[in-house]
Amino acid sequence: MRLETVILLSALLPLCLSHGWDPLAWLFHRHGQAQQVGFLRADTVGWACPDECDCPPTFPIAMYCEGRGLTAVPSIPSHIKYLYLQNNAISAVPDAALVNATSLVWLMLHHNQLTSDAIGKEAFLKLVGLERLFLHHNNLTSIPPNLPLSLRDLRLDHNRIEKVIPTDLEGMDNLTILHLHDNEVTDMATSLKALKSLTLLDISNNKLIKVPDALPEHLHQFYMEFNSIDSLPEGFLGGLAQLQYIRMSHNLLKDKGIPSNTFNITGLVELDLSFNKLERIPTVSTTLQHLYLQANQIKEFSLGSFCPVVDVTNFSRLQTLRLDGNEISQEDIPSESALCLRWASSIQI
């Protein structure tokens, strides 16, 4: 058998060599692939991965440096698109730190020790293709300057930001998600007006005493719980045709501070006004599906707030209604409510 194999290979060898291929190449194919990847990472100019990070050959455009105890931004190869630097002790991003990282699409810098003074004015200037920037859980007192206009998702929550001015977000036409919750914001002026594509805005747990002016018209989700807002401007939801979710729990809202029919808008799916100082149920649209009014001072179950007319064809689409923690009981629910609230699977009083 061995002799036959040797004779066969001997016969094939001249033919293979004449055609320029090695008949034994299959034996080394997998080993050659591994060597090729190694040469690609080690020898290609600008592709060297820092020792403190991982750049997997299976996903060569990503660089994983999270949770490594880093105190500074490492050298970033120019081809990297996804950079993970979260859960470190990085305290600064100087102008030169990202100068080579012009291909970045995602930059994760959350859970570090960044301060506003330690971020260079041009630190993010050359990241013209950046779409996601995570800076939450740091020590920022203001929004970094010259952020890329290409951003779609910006997370700045859990910092110490006190004020948002129009120039902070100017020109960000592509931004769809903005997380600013858990800061110390007292004023936002008209800074949101320029955000033409914004669909999710979370400004909860700040120090706001009024709703920001000029809300983006394409908002879909609007969260502003845990502030000190006691009134709402006339018609502030009028131009928000795509708005479906509003959460304003844990504020200081009173009946006199809410203009009539403020929440009587078609398209709204969820409204959370719990933990305020309301004494009456506000008028809502018959298309609303979830209403949270617990822990207020409501004294009357007014069926007209849900159904202006009660009959077989006119009824509310409300599925969830929470009224627990108010000054009414089960006996206060009128008998006609079964017709008006026929879709309600849960009414808590």
Q: Quick: pLDDT tens for 243-269.
A: 999 999 999 999 999 999 999 999 999
**What pLDDT shows up at residue 44?**
44
Residue 330 has pLDDT above 50, yes or no: yes
Q: What is the mean pLDDT of residues 260-284?
A: 96
Alpha helices in the chain (DSSP H): 2-18, 29-43, 166-169, 337-340
Under 8 Å CB-to-CB from 193, ≥6 apart: which residues? 166, 213, 214, 216
The span from the CA of 132 to the CA of 218, in Å, is 20
The two three-digit tokens of residue 176, written as one number: 């769809």
CB 268 within 8 A of CB 243: yes
Can you give the length of the chain in residues? 349
**pLDDT category, 346, cuts 50, 70, 90?**
confident
pLDDT at 313: 82
Q: Give the model's pLDDT for residue 238.
A: 85
186-219 pLDDT, tens digit per residue, is 999 899 988 999 999 999 999 999 999 889 999 9
Residue listed under structure tokens 């050298």: 75
Domain map (residue ranges) of the chain: 49-160
- pLDDT-derived band at 46, boundaries 50, 70, 90: low
Strand partners, 82: 62, 106
| Fold of the CATH domain 49-160 | 3.80.10
Which of 9-13, 94-98, 135-139, 305-309 is least confident?
A: 9-13
131 near 106, Cβ under 8 Å?
yes
Whether the predicted pLDDT of 24 surpasses 50: no
**What's CA 150's distance to the chain center, in Å?**
15
What pLDDT does 31 receive? 34
pLDDT reported for residue 235: 87
CA 307/CA 240 separation, integer angstroms: 23
Radius of gyration over alpha carbons of the chain, in Å? Answer: 30
- Distance between CA 305 and CA 340 in Å, rounded? 10
Percent of the chain at pLDDT above 90? 78
Please determine, for residue 5, whether its predicted confidence score (pLDDT) is greater than 60: no
The structure tokens 């069926």 sit at 303
The dihedral of CA 136, 164, 237, 228: what is its sign?
positive
Is a pLDDT exceeding 70 seen at residue 124?
yes
Torsion of CA 205, 210, 213, 219, to 10 degrees: 40
Beta bridge partners of 221: 200, 245
Percent of the chain with pLDDT over 70: 87
Question: Looking at the predicted structure, is the pLDDT value of residue 13 above 80?
Answer: no
* pLDDT given at position 16: 42
pLDDT at 3: 39
pLDDT of residue 314: 86
Phi, psi angles (nearest 5°) of residue 30: -65, -40
pLDDT tens per residue across span 172-181: 999 999 999 9
SS3 state at 220: coil
